[in-house]
Chains A and B, each alone.
Chain A
C-alpha cells in the first residue's frame, strides 16, 4: 500500500520536476554496519550527503557491528513504512527472513558494498566494488609503468583469509600473468594496518639486500603502504623512485604521500555507494525499471599526475 502511494507520488513529482529532484519526499532507511574504519565513516558521510542533495529523508541506524541490531533496524524501517531500505550487511548469512518481511511489505532493499547469501529476488540490487578488478587495475598500472623492464615486486597482503586480501591478490596476479619481467618475490600479511605494514616492509628490505632487489611494492590497502613508505625512507631509500608504490583504497593520506612523490598510484574503492543506489532506486520507482542484480562501482586509478593535493582536500572532510 505504502509502496504504491510512494510510487504514485514519485510519478507525480517526476512529472512536475526534473532530474534528480524526482526522489523528493522519499523516505529511505539506511542500516550501516558501524564505524570500524575510516572508509566506513566516509561512506556514511557520503550517503547522508547524497540523500540531502536529492531531497531524500534518510533514516540512519548504526548497528555497532552487530547483525541483530541491523535486523531490528530493518524491522523498524518496515514498521515506519519507508519507501526503500539501504543495507550494508555486517555478515553474509542469516538475512532471508528479514528480507522476506521487507519483500512482503513491498519495500525494495538495496545492498551496499557487501553482498548476502540469500536468493537474489529478496533484494532489488547490490552496489559493490569488484575487489578482483581493483587488484587488476593496480597490476595493469605496474605492468604499463615498468614497460618490459625486469621488476621484483613485494606484496603486503590484507588480513589472511579476508575476502579483500584473497581477491586483491588474485586480481593483481591475473594482471601480471604473461609478463615474465614482473615477479612477486615476497608476499606477507600486514593485517591492513600501518604498524604491521611498516614492520613487514622492514623485514622485506632486510631480506632483499637492503631493498636493492625490490623494484615495486603492492599493498592491499593504503594504510599498509603509508607504513611501508616510512620503512623505506628509514632504510635510506626513496619511496616512489627507488621502489614504486601502488596500493588500493584511495584514502586521503595516500594523496599526501603522492603529492610528496613517495607513492605512485592508488586504486579508489569509492565510498560513494549511495549515489548509484539512489539512481537505481529512482529509475525503479519512476519507470518500474528493474536494475541488474549487481551494480559495480568504478575502480578509478589515481596517479601523481592527478593533482593529488586537490583530491586530498576534497576527501579530507569526509571522515576517513
Chain B
C-alpha cells in the first residue's frame, strides 16, 4: 500500500511542487491569499475561489485526459458547454422540472460525445478534424437554442448548482470532486484504464489482441461530452443565464493545457486523472493570482504564458536528464529510493 502511495506521489510531485510554488508566490504578493473564513455557512476565501472558478476546466480536463490517452483530442468541449448551457436554460425557462432539465442536458452532452466518437472510431477521421466539426458548429447550435440572446433564468434549484454550497464547499467543487473520484475509480479499479492506454499506444495491436477498440473510443468521447455537459450546466447556473457567445469560449485549450501541465503525453498512452485535475487547478491559481496581484490587464496573458513555459520546461525530458546528472553525485552516499525498494 505505501508503495502505491509513494509511486502515486512521485507521479504527482512536479505538479504539487508547481502548485506550491505558485501558491507561495501569490501569498507573498497578496498576504490575505491563504485566509479562510466561514461566511453564510460556507468557506470563503481566495483558495476556495480557485477550486470554484476552476470547476469547468477541471471537469473538461477529466474527460480530455481519457480522450488524449487514446491518442485523440476533443476540441469540441467548449462548444458542447455552450450547447448544454443553452439547452438547460431554455428547458428550465419553458417550465420543465429540474430533474428533467438536468437529465435532458446530460443526454445532449452524451449525444455530442457519441457524434465525435462515431466520426473517430467508425469513420476513422483524425480526432482533431472530427471534433473541429462540432467546435465550429456547436456555438451556432447554441445560438439557435438561445436565439442569440443571453437566456436568463431564476429557478432556485438550477442556480443552487452554480452558487449553492454543500458541507461548506461551493456546489461546483463538490460536483467535480465526486465526479473526478468516480471516474478515477472506474478507470483504475478496473482494467478500463489499461485498455484505454493500450489503444493510445497502438490501436491496431489492441484491436488484434481482442480489445473492443471502437466501443472504448466512443466511450472516451462520450465521457468527454458528459464532462462538458456538467461544466456547461455549472457555467450557466453560475451566472444565472446561458451566454451562447461566450460560455466555454477557448476552454478546450485550457483543458488541453491542464492535461499537458498534468504531465500526460499528447501522444497517448499513460495518463493520470489526478495530475490533470492538479494541472487545471494550477492554471486557475495562476489566473486568480494575476487578478489579485493588481497588475494592469495588459500583463495577464504574458504572466500566464511565462509561468506555463516555466512549468513545461521543468517537465521536459532534456531538463529532467540534466537534473538527473546534477543529482547523481549526491546519491552515491546512500542508496537511492529505487535501490532501496
CA distance A38 to B246 in the complex (A): 12
Instruction: For B247, give its contact among A36, A187, A195 (CB under 8 Å).
Output: A195
Scan A170-211; emit 1 where CB is below 8 A from any B CB, else 0: 000000000000000011110101110011101110110000
Bound-state CA distance A226–B243 (Å) is 13
Q: Which residue of B lies closest to A185 (CB)?
A: B294
Q: A195-B243, A206-B45 are in contact. List 11 more A-B contacts (CB 8 A).
A: A194-B150, A194-B246, A195-B247, A199-B53, A206-B32, A207-B292, A207-B294, A230-B239, A235-B39, A236-B39, A253-B150
Query: What's the Cα separation between A186 and B296 when bound, in Å?
Result: 9
Q: State the total of A-B contacts with C-beta under 8 angstroms.
A: 79
Say whether, besides A41-B148, A253-B152, A230 and B163 are in contact (CB < 8 Å). Answer: yes
Binding site for A on B (CB under 8 A): 30, 32, 39-40, 44-46, 49, 53, 143, 147-150, 152, 163, 235, 238-241, 243, 245-247, 287-288, 291-292, 294, 296-298, 300
Q: Can you sample 16 A-B contacts with CB below 8 Å? A: A37-B245, A38-B150, A41-B148, A160-B298, A161-B298, A193-B243, A194-B241, A199-B49, A202-B49, A207-B32, A226-B239, A234-B163, A235-B39, A236-B40, A253-B152, A319-B148
List residues of chain B with CB within 8 A of the CB of A189: 297, 300
State which residues 67-117 of A face B: CB under 8 Å: none
Q: Interface residues, chain A, CB within 8 Å of chain B?
A: 35-38, 41, 157, 160-161, 186-189, 191, 193-195, 198-200, 202-204, 206-207, 223, 226-227, 230, 234-236, 253, 319-320
Complex contact A203–B288 (CB within 8 A): yes
Q: How far is the CA of A236 from the CA of B163 in the complex (A)?
A: 13
Q: How many Å lie between the Cα of A81 and that of B34 in the bound state? A: 68
Residue of B nearest to A188 (CB): B297
A223 close to B148 (CB less than 8 A): no
Q: A223–B163 Cα gap in the complex (Å)? A: 18
User: Are A203 and B297 touching (Cβ within 8 A)?
Assistant: no
A36 near B245 (CB under 8 angstroms)?
A: yes
Known: A187-B297, A230-B163. A203 touches B238 (CB 8 A): no
A37-B245, A234-B163 given; A206·B46 CB < 8 A: yes
CA distance A250 to B143 in the complex (A): 22
Using A189-B297, A206-B46, A207-B292 as known contacts, say yes or no to A230 and B240 having CB atoms under 8 A apart.
yes
User: A203 near B291 (CB under 8 angstroms)?
Assistant: yes
- Which residues of B have CB within 8 Å of A187? 296-297
| B148: chain A residues within 8 A (beta carbon) | 35, 38, 41, 319
Residues of chain A lying within 8 A (CB to CB) of residue B239: 194-195, 198, 226-227, 230
A146 to chain B: closest CB distance in Å?
23
Q: A200 to chain B: which residues have CB within 8 Å?
A: 291
- CB-CB nearest 3 A-B residue pairs: A203-B291, A189-B297, A194-B239
User: What separation, in Å, do the CA atoms of A236 and B266 have in the docked complex?
Assistant: 44
A257, chain B: closest CB distance, angstroms: 11
Chain A residues contacting B152 (CB-CB under 8 Å) are: 253
CA distance A73 to B287 in the complex (A): 43
Closest CB in chain B relative to A251 CB, distance in Å: 8
Report Cα–Cα, A230/B163, bound state, in Å. 9
Nearest chain A CB to B82 CB, angstrom units: 12
Residues of chain B lying within 8 A (CB to CB) of residue A206: 32, 45-46, 49, 292
Please determine whether B246 and A320 come into contact, CB atoms closer than 8 angstroms.
Answer: no
Decide: B294 and A186 in contact? CB cutoff 8 A.
yes
A41 partner residues in chain B, CB cutoff 8 A: 148-149
CA distance A282 to B148 in the complex (A): 32
Provide the bound-state CA to CA distance between A200 and B247, in Å: 16
| Chain A residues closer than 8 Å to B30, beta-carbon distance | 207
